Amino acid sequence: MATFQDGKAGQIVSLLMEEGRLTEKQLNYALRISSKLETSKTLLDVIKELEYVSDDQIKATLRKNMGRMRIGDLLVELGQISESELQACLALQAKEKTRQKLGKLLVSNNFIRQQDLMETLSVQLGIPFLEPQFADIKKNLLPKGQMGLFKRSLFIPVSRQGDEVVVAFADPMDEEAVNTARRALQCQIRPALATESSILEVIEKLEPSAHGSVIQRDEASIVELVNTIILSAFTSGASDVHIEPAKDRLRVRFRHDGVLIPFKEYSKEVIPALTSRLKIMCAADIAEKRRHQGGRIDFRHDQGDVDLRVSFYVTINGEKIVLRLLRRQTHLLKIEDIGMSPKMLKRFRVEALDCPSGVVLITGPTGSGKTTTVYGCINYLNNSETSIITAEEPVEYVVDGIAQCSIDPKINLTFEESLRHIVRQDPDVVVIGEIRDTFSAQVAVQAALTGHKVLTTFHTEDSIGGLVRLLNMDVDAFLISSTVVCVVAQRLLRRVCPECRMSYQITPGDMHALGYKAKDVLSGDFQIGRGCEACRFTGYKGRLAVLEMLILNEPVRDAILERKTSHQIRNISIESSGLLTLMEDGIVKAAAGQTTIREVLRCLPRLQKPRPLVELRHLLGL
What's the CATH code of the domain at 307? 3.30.450.90
Report the C-alpha gap between 600 and 577 in whole angstroms.
Answer: 24
pLDDT at 329: 60
Query: Which comes out higher in pLDDT, residue 554 or 367?
Result: 554
292 and 244 in a single domain? The answer is yes
Q: Considering the domain boundaries, does residue 275 fall inside one?
A: yes
Contacts for 583 with CB less than 8 Å, ≥ 6 apart: 514, 600, 604, 605, 606, 607, 610
| pLDDT beyond 90 at 548 | yes
Burial 92-105 (b: 16+ CB within 10 A, else e): bbeeeeeeebbbbb
Going by pLDDT thresholds of 50, 70 and 90, the confidence category of residue 210 is very low
End-to-end Cα spacing for the chain: 44
Report the C-alpha gap between 174 and 121 in whole angstroms.
Answer: 12
pLDDT at 330: 56
Nearest to 266 by CA among 309, 210, 213, 340: 213
| pLDDT beyond 50 at 123 | yes
Q: Considering the domain boundaries, does residue 533 fall inside one?
A: yes
- Give me the mean pLDDT over the 404-418 stretch: 75
Q: Considering the domain boundaries, does residue 126 fall inside one?
A: no
φ/ψ of residue 486, rounded to 5: -160, 140
pLDDT at 87: 82
| pLDDT beyond 80 at 131 | no
Q: Considering the domain boundaries, does residue 423 fall inside one?
A: yes
| pLDDT beyond 70 at 211 | no
Cβ atoms of 322 and 367 within 8 Å: the answer is no
251 and 265 in a single domain? The answer is yes
201 and 281 in a single domain? The answer is no
pLDDT in tens, 364-403: 998 888 988 999 999 999 988 999 998 887 777 778 888 8
Query: Which comes out higher in pLDDT, residue 55 or 338?
Result: 338
Q: Percent helix, strand and coil across the chain, each rounded to 5?
A: 45, 20, 35
- Work out whether the CA dihedral 529, 532, 535, 536 comes out positive or negative: positive
User: What is the pairing mode between strands 388-392 and 293-301?
Assistant: unpaired
Report the C-alpha gap between 395 and 614 in whole angstroms.
Answer: 41
pLDDT at 216: 44
155 and 257 in a single domain? The answer is no
Contacts for 25 with CB less than 8 Å, ≥ 6 apart: none
- Give me the mean pLDDT over the 435-447 stretch: 87
pLDDT in tens, 94-103: 777 666 778 7
Select from 112, 146, 174 the last residue of a domain: 112
Q: Considering the domain boundaries, does residue 18 fall inside one?
A: yes
61 and 161 in a single domain? The answer is no
- Work out whether the CA dihedral 510, 514, 519, 522 comes out positive or negative: negative
Q: Considering the domain boundaries, does residue 206 fall inside one?
A: yes
Report the C-alpha gap between 81 and 62 in whole angstroms.
Answer: 18
468 and 553 in a single domain? The answer is yes
- Give me the mean pLDDT over the 509-529 stretch: 87
What single-letter amino acid sits at 559? A
* CATH number of the domain bearing residue 151: 3.30.300.160
Report the C-alpha gap between 260 and 254 in whole angstroms.
Answer: 5
305 and 352 in a single domain? The answer is no
Cβ atoms of 240 and 324 within 8 Å: the answer is yes
308 and 348 in a single domain? The answer is no
For residue 106, give its domain range: 11-112
Going by pLDDT thresholds of 50, 70 and 90, the confidence category of residue 133 is low
Select from 186, 213, 240 the last residue of a domain: 213
Going by pLDDT thresholds of 50, 70 and 90, the confidence category of residue 265 is confident
Q: Considering the domain boundaries, does residue 117 fall inside one?
A: no
| Arithmetic mean of pLDDT over the chain | 84
What single-letter amino acid sits at 480? I
Helix 463-472 × helix 566-576 angle, to 10° = 140
DSSP conformational letter for 270: G
Query: Which comes out higher in pLDDT, residue 396 or 214?
Result: 396
Choice among 114-118, 131-135, 417-421 with the minimum mean pLDDT: 131-135
Going by pLDDT thresholds of 50, 70 and 90, the confidence category of residue 209 is very low
pLDDT at 5: 41
- Give me the mean pLDDT over the 253-263 stretch: 88
| pLDDT beyond 70 at 1 | no
Q: Which helix (H) or strand (E) holds 312?
A: strand 304-315
pLDDT at 134: 55
Report the C-alpha gap between 414 and 396 in whole angstroms.
Answer: 17
464 and 513 in a single domain? The answer is yes
pLDDT at 428: 92
Going by pLDDT thresholds of 50, 70 and 90, the confidence category of residue 604 is very high
Going by pLDDT thresholds of 50, 70 and 90, the confidence category of residue 588 is very high
Choice among 127-131, 284-288, 537-541, 579-583 with the minimum mean pLDDT: 127-131
pLDDT at 99: 66
- Give me the mean pLDDT over the 566-594 stretch: 92
- Give me the mean pLDDT over the 471-497 stretch: 93
pLDDT at 580: 93
251 and 375 in a single domain? The answer is no
Query: Which comes out higher in pLDDT, residue 515 or 320?
Result: 320
Select from 213, 235, 257 the last residue of a domain: 213
| pLDDT beyond 90 at 492 | yes
* CATH number of the domain bearing residue 399: 3.40.50.300
pLDDT in tens, 169-198: 888 878 888 888 888 888 888 888 888 877
155-161, strands of its sheet edge to edge: 155-161, 164-169, 188-193
Q: Considering the domain boundaries, does residue 184 fall inside one?
A: yes
43 and 156 in a single domain? The answer is no
Contacts for 252 with CB less than 8 Å, ≥ 6 apart: 229, 241, 242, 243, 244, 262, 263, 264, 265, 266
Share of the chain above pLDDT 90, in %: 28
32 and 53 in a single domain? The answer is yes
Burial 228-258 (b: 16+ CB within 10 A, else e): ebbbebbeeebbbbbbbbeebbbbbbbbbbb
Domain count of the fold of the chain: 4
pLDDT at 214: 41
